[in-house]
Amino acid sequence: MKFGPDRVKTFLENNKVSYILRAHECVMDGFERFAGGSLFTIFSATDYCGRHKNAGAMLQITKSFELVPKMIYPLNNAEDNWITDEEPLNKRPPTPPRW
């Protein structure tokens, strides 16, 4: 099911909130804005499972509630950060990023 900026705006108004912050979806730049910045996706894992070459990001929320993403880039030796045995990886395939 797809939804558009109009649904995000309605949800925010009905629930008296300013933003929707979501995670656990691999996005190539580590963060993604939708609906004029009202819905924000954040993903902190870089080079997800050693296969996607994506950046990660953290989200800083300022005192004035401004959302500021801070990029995290993959290391050159990222293979040292992952399990090298393929058996555990084959048990649960990673979620692919949206292209």
What are the angstrom distances between the C-alpha of 8 and each of 30, 41, 65? 21, 13, 18
pLDDT of amino acid 49: 81
pLDDT in tens, the chain (99 residues): 577 999 999 999 999 999 999 998 889 999 999 999 999 999 998 888 877 888 899 999 999 988 899 998 877 665 555 556 666 656 665 666 666
Domain boundaries, the chain: 5-74
Q: Whole-model pTM above 0.75?
A: no
- Radius of gyration of the chain from Cα atoms? 16
- Which of 86, 78, 62, 74 has its CA nearest to residue 26? 74
